């Protein structure tokens, strides 16, 4: 996959997503609306240390990969 696009849900949930297209056409509507935040070129690391191969596999099979930052331990 040449480019992975990153998105943030604007509904206040803190949910993020990766997709194969800049429009996020396959992102789940129920978790949106979605805002495109960046693009990650081939061979570049994804934010937050997420495994690129895992994300690419999810995009190939599901059309997207959702993620949420871990909450800090108290």
Query: Is residue 38 included in any domain, yes or no?
Result: yes
Q: Which two tokens stand for residue 17?
A: 């997503």
CA distance 74 to 68: 18
At residue 70, the pLDDT reads 73
User: What's the pTM?
Assistant: 0.89
72 part of a folded domain? no
- List of E strands, 3-73: 3-9, 16-19, 34-41, 64-67
pLDDT in tens, the chain (74 residues): 789 999 999 999 999 999 999 999 999 999 999 999 999 999 899 988 899 999 999 999 999 999 987 776 65
CATH number for the domain including 38? 3.10.510
The count of structural domains within the chain is 1
């Amino acid at each position: 996959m040449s480019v992975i696009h990153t998105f943030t849900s604007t509904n206040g949930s803190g949910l993020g997503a990766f997709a194969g297209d800049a429009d996020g056409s396959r992102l789940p509507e129920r978790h949106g609306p979605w805002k495109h935040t960046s693009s990650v070129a081939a061979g570049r690391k994804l934010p937050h240390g997420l495994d690129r191969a895992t994300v690419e596999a999810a995009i190939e099979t599901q059309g997207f990969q959702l993620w949420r930052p871990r909450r800090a331990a108290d």
